[in-house]
Amino acid sequence: MSADQYDFGMIGLGTMGRNLLLNMADHSVKGAGYDKDGDKARLLEQEAKGATVKGFTDLPAFIHGLRQPRAIMMLVPAGRIVDEVIAELQPLLSKGDILIDGGNSYFKDTERRVAALETQGLHFFGMGISGGEEGARRGPSMMPGGDKEAYRVMQPILEAIAAKVDGKPCVTYIGPGAAGHFVKMVHNGIEYGLMQLIAETYAFMKQGLGMDNEAIGAVFTSWNRGRLQSFLLEITADIFRYKEKDATHLLLDDIKDEAKAKGTGKWTSQIAMDLETPIPTIDAAVSMRDLSKYKALRIELSETYPHDAAPISGNKETLLTQLEQAFYGSMVTAYTQGLHLLAKGSAAFQYELDLAAIARIWRGGCIIRSAFLNDIYQAFTINKELPILLADAAIARQLTEVLPGWREILSRAIAAGLPMPAYAASLSYFDSIGSRNMPTNLIQAQRDYFGAHTYEKTGKEGVFHTQWTQV
């Protein structure tokens, strides 16, 4: 094809970049892809099957082949590589061109890049993309933020390729600056929390109730038909059915119990602490991934403190009903913490986030999509000023109903020596956030005792300090 015939350019032809271009081709968008790896460029053209898509390994030729103003997305690893790609692109771009970072970049890096590229007349925005390989190919959830003018130019393409729920695309303008990447970071934090909760649920059934893999898979399948329906439960049920060719056992049983991470969960915990916003379920999930990496130490300590979780006795059907209730309560708590952090971040960074709109676009094509997001969408649609998700009356009724089962499961697990840190963090958060009085008055007294940090009194204005010992 001759120059200036491609509508959109993609830098990085890994699974996500390639599938997004193919998704665009399905919607009559002529796409060009660039990658230094010639095999990836050729694979793009092979999978395009005659659609107007071309792979490039020459960067100037790739840039020259795009219509002006150019629209280019980067899907490369977060961090230094993004800056290197931008530096390579800048001499080849013209004022008015649009550059999109579709990777999992840290939102403060995105803020810096927005400011730097704006001075050069380039339209830049960061966009979170959720849905993995299948979502990219068939319809992801997308969270674009930053340059609103650039988003409006891209809006028809993004709405065409996005997942659809109730006929509406799962993409919307999120807010200025790095709002898109901030929301995606928190999305990933919620994802961490939900995945840890599912893993602990698996442990309760396997170690506590002595259930085999087939029975555990059946429970996840059953739950996925009810109020717990979600993408993560759906894929978990699939995992409990998968065997390699000629194998007599699940592949799951061959996988090491050492979890990897790319840092987005850690970023969520770090910024939550900066904003003084508690997200203990997410924090526990991040910590447990880190703890899992200490395999040798865990083995050594298991010999020093030998114990296996004691069997949990009782009516299995009753316990599974209570486990479903405990999972529901913990799941609600994980979403609550994430949305509270979004609200606090929105105020701190002036993002003006619309929580109802965010819940709406997370309902389809998204890793954390779930039936419960409809409840979240309704809650924030009814009351945009809702201070926290737990304050919604309909959700409060559900949590009140599951609370006894939630407590029972945690008490049984602790008594049996079965660790469920994300469940425990969720219930403690729930109890604390709804507590009229906390024991932190003692902490304030201690701080004043050893450091003269002062304290305030109930029912009396002013700041006070006490000499706690007689001189």
Token pair for residue 30?
């002529």
Which DSSP letter does residue 307 get? -
Q: Which residues contact 181 (CB under 8 A, 6 or more apart)?
A: 101, 104, 105, 106, 107, 110, 126, 127, 128, 143, 145
Please say whether the dihedral angle defined by the alpha carbons of residues 349, 353, 359 and 360, taken in this order, is positive or negative. negative
Q: Which residues contact 36 (CB under 8 A, 6 or more apart)?
A: 57
Would you tell me how many other CB atoms lie within 10 Å of the CB of residue 3? Answer: 10
Whole-number Å distance between alpha carbons of 451 and 466: 11
- 191 as an active site residue: the answer is yes
Whole-number Å distance between alpha carbons of 155 and 91: 26
Helices within 204-314 (DSSP H only): 213-223, 231-239, 264-274, 280-292, 295-304
Whole-number Å distance between alpha carbons of 222 and 324: 10
Would you tell me how many other CB atoms lie within 10 Å of the CB of residue 238? Answer: 12
Whole-number Å distance between alpha carbons of 389 and 264: 23
**Choosing from 111, 191, 200, 324, which is the catalytic residue?**
191
**Choosing from 30, 40, 54, 184, which is the catalytic residue?**
184
- 401 as an active site residue: the answer is no
Phi, psi (degrees; rounded to nearest 5) at 125:
-145, 150
Catalytic residues: 184, 191
